[in-house]
């Protein structure tokens, strides 16, 4: 099993550009989440999903959109990138609410 796969690993964007961070899991997990990791701030939840067709906001959702059309994929969209969105983004999945979370390798995004 590949587990949780994130693409790309690195990305540089100009302010105002849009892009989609991809996340795919092959473990048939229902729960998927996006976090951003910033120095001194830990991991903050952006958006999460408890199943296909269901998404909800986390702690820091502004500037990000998500969708969950399939169980496997949970893309994160930046519609108009800002320097404040420079961060490392992690996608995670869980089989259900009581099991451990599996993380992707992360996407390091720089917005200039």
Partner 1 sequence: AQRVTQPEKLLSVFKGAPVELKCNYSYSGSPELFWYVQYSRQRLQLLLRHISRESIKGFTADLNKGETSFHLKKPFAQEEDSAMYYCALRSGSEKLVFGKGTKLTVNP
Would you tell me which residues interact with partner 1 (CB under 8 A)?
A: 4, 31, 33, 35, 40-45, 48, 50, 56, 58, 90, 92, 94, 97-98, 100-101, 103-106
Closest contact distance (angstroms) between CB of 1 and partner 1 is: 14
Closest contact distance (angstroms) between CB of 103 and partner 1 is: 4
> Nearer Cβ to partner 1, position 92 or 109?
92
Residues 6+ apart with CB under 8 A from 18: 77, 78, 79, 80, 81
> Nearer Cβ to partner 1, position 34 or 78?
34
Residues 6+ apart with CB under 8 A from 104: 3, 4, 5, 6, 23, 90, 91, 92
Measured in Å, how far apart are the chain's first and last C-alpha atoms? 36
């Amino acid at each position: 099993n590949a587990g949780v796969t994130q693409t790309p690993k690195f990305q540089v964007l100009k302010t105002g550009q849009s892009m989609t961070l991809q996340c795919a899991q092959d473990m048939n997990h229902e729960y998927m989440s996006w976090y951003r990791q910033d120095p001194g701030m830990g991991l903050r939840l952006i958006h999460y999903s408890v199943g296909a067709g269901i998404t909800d906001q986390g702690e820091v959702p502004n500037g990000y959109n998500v969708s969950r059309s399939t169980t496997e994929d949970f893309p994160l969209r930046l519609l108009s990138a800002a320097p404040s969105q420079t961060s490392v983004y992690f996608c995670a999945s869980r089989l259900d609410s009581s099991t451990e979370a599996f993380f992707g390798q992360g996407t390091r995004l720089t917005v200039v």
